[in-house]
Every structure is written in C-alpha cells, then in structure tokens.
Amino acid sequence: MLTTYPNGAAQTHAVWADLLDPTPEELRQTASRLGAALPPREEISSIELSKRMRSSPEMLSINLPAFARAEAGQGMMTPLGIVVTPDLLVTTRYAESEAFKRLAASVSAAAPALTSIDAFVLLFETIVSTASDRMQRLSGELSEISRETFSDTRGHSQRLRGVLFRIGRIQRQVTQIRSASLGVQRGLMHLCDAAPAWLQKDHLGRLRIALEDVHALAEFDQQLDDKVQFLLDAALGFINNDQNDIIRVLTIASVVTIPPMILAGIWGMNFKSIPEYDWPHGYVYALATIVLSMILPLAWFKWKKWF
C-alpha cells in the first residue's frame, strides 16, 4: 500500500511516500518519482553494515533489518528501508508500526510547511519516542508482575504459571525493542559522523539529541533485562519451593504409613500360633498400636519443625 503525505497530495507535491508491504507497481511508481531504484526487501533485511547505510550528494539510504514485529509471523521482525532526498522521503516497511501512526499524524498536522528533511528527522524522533513509551509500559507491567510474584495471598502458586508466560512475552518485546534501537543507533551515528551537505545544522542537532536518547534507552533496556531475569528466577524459585513442599508432604505420608503397614502385615499373617489372636482385647490392642505408630512419627516431625 502506498500512502503519500500530506494526505491526498499528488505525487509531485508529496514530501513523504510511505510504502507498506508494497506491490511491484507501487515500488516502480515511487522509484520513478524518487529518480532512483528502491532497495528490495532482501537488501533491506541484510545485516551487513556495508548495506545498511549509503550516502551520495543528493540521496541518503538507511536500512534497519529488524524494526517492526509481523503480527502474522509469530513475532518475526520485519525490516524498514529509508531513502531521503531534499525533495522526498520514502519509507518501505512490511508491518504496521505505532511509530508510523504517530508520524503520519504529526506530518499531516504540520503540513504544508513540512519538508522531506523535516519528515526524515521527525521519523527518528518519533521512533525513539515510541520506543521510550513502550519501554515505560513494559516497566510498569514488570512492577505489577513483581507485586504479584512476591505476594502472599491465596492462589499464589496457581498464578505463577501465568506469571511465567507474561515474563516471556515481556522479554520477547524487550528483545525486539533492543534490536530496533540498535539499528536506529547505528543509523544516527552514521548521520552524525558523515552528514550530507543538504542536512541543515538544526536538523543535525535534533538527530544528535535523538542519538543521546537512544543511548539512554540502552541503559534503561539493560535495567529492564535485569529485572526480567530477576523475576524469572524468582518465579522459578517459588515453583521449586512449592514442588519441594509437595515432595515433603509425600515423604512424610510415606514414612508415617510404613509402621502401621508393617504391623498390619504381621498380624494379618495366616498362622495359628500368633498369640495376640487369643487375647481378650487383642483387636483393641492391635488397633491402638497401629494408631500410635502413626502418631509418634508425626509428633517427631512436628518437634523437628519439618512441616
């Protein structure tokens, strides 16, 4: 799908052409307007640094191999291709993105004064801002999971399984944000070190600020990763404790039932010479002995504080 901004603008008046999972015809049409061929998906997805950034006097190309998650692809990351000239910004992506929804609203609100360079800088600022908001939401979810993990309420053991699934989902999202932020960071570093001549000083200053924000997000990302690992270890530790409690109960139950089973086996043998059979109160004696053989181990365990 090809969308041009400002919304509804003709191709000759557009400052931004957004290609979402484009068809060959849309790629050809946009390349004709740009005056240069657009890189195919295979090239955009390449992890080689030599293919990620290309610069010429009139054009700048940046490829981010991992940018947005494909909903239908079981969490697979899709690439983002950015090509910008003084007249037109072209983005090629293959999945929906919250950052691009925000960018579309910002570009539409700022038109018609916005240029392709303004949209290009705003793109990176929006990506960094969106990543920051997502990481803050994930941090809030981790705080909620922490309270749930370390709560001492009824049904705590049953909720730990759900906690593990939530931790896994958050860890996957943190990894995806890290992958996207790394590509953005490398792109911004290249821009700040070797900016084209048509990139104005105020634009370059805004890009440097965005790069500093990415560095700050990297530190915050490390904190989130440590917290995820801590909560994962804590949840697994509680599950292990619950399993140990179950094993302890089963062990006590097996030990307590051994003496009465032995006594019942002895008095249940089919021999005529068992003297207890002829006692007037032999049954009461045997029953009391069996019960006492169960109570004594339980009292011992209780005294030792083993349960």
* Same domain, residue pair 26 and 88: yes
* Same domain, residue pair 280 and 163: no
- pLDDT (average), residues 268-285: 80
Give the domain-ending residue among 242, 260, 280. Answer: 242
Tell me: the pLDDT tens digits for 127-145? 888 888 888 898 888 888 8
* Same domain, residue pair 130 and 188: yes
* Same domain, residue pair 255 and 234: no
* Same domain, residue pair 163 and 190: yes
DSSP letters along 276-294, please? Answer: GGGSTTHHHHHHHHHHHHH
* Same domain, residue pair 186 and 50: yes
Give the domain-ending residue among 190, 220, 242. Answer: 242
* Same domain, residue pair 184 and 48: yes
* Same domain, residue pair 79 and 170: yes
* Same domain, residue pair 289 and 153: no
Q: Is 50 exceeded by the pLDDT of residue 115?
A: yes
Give the domain-ending residue among 214, 242, 270. Answer: 242
Identify the pLDDT of residue 74: 53
Tell me: the pLDDT tens digits for 197-254? 777 888 888 888 888 888 888 888 888 888 888 888 888 888 888 888 888 888 888 8
Whole-structure pTM over 0.75, yes or no? no
Tell me: the pLDDT tens digits for 182-197? 888 887 887 777 777 7
* Same domain, residue pair 126 and 265: no
Whether the Cβ atoms of residue 208 and residue 187 lie closer than 8 Å to each other: no
* Same domain, residue pair 185 and 292: no
Q: Spell out the SS3 assignment of 177-241.
A: HHHHHHHHHHHHHHHHHCCCCCCCHHHHHHHHHHHHHHHHHHHHHHHHHHHHHHHHHHHHHHHHH
β-partners of residue 2 are: 19
How far apart are alpha carbons 269 and 276 in whole angstroms?
12
Identify the pLDDT of residue 73: 43
Tell me: the pLDDT tens digits for 59-96? 888 888 877 776 644 567 888 888 888 888 888 888 88
CATH number assigned to the domain comprising residue 292: 1.20.58
* Same domain, residue pair 166 and 221: yes
Domains in the chain: how many in total? 2
Q: Encoding tokens for residue 83?
A: 């090509």
Q: What range defines the domain where residue 294 resides?
A: 243-303
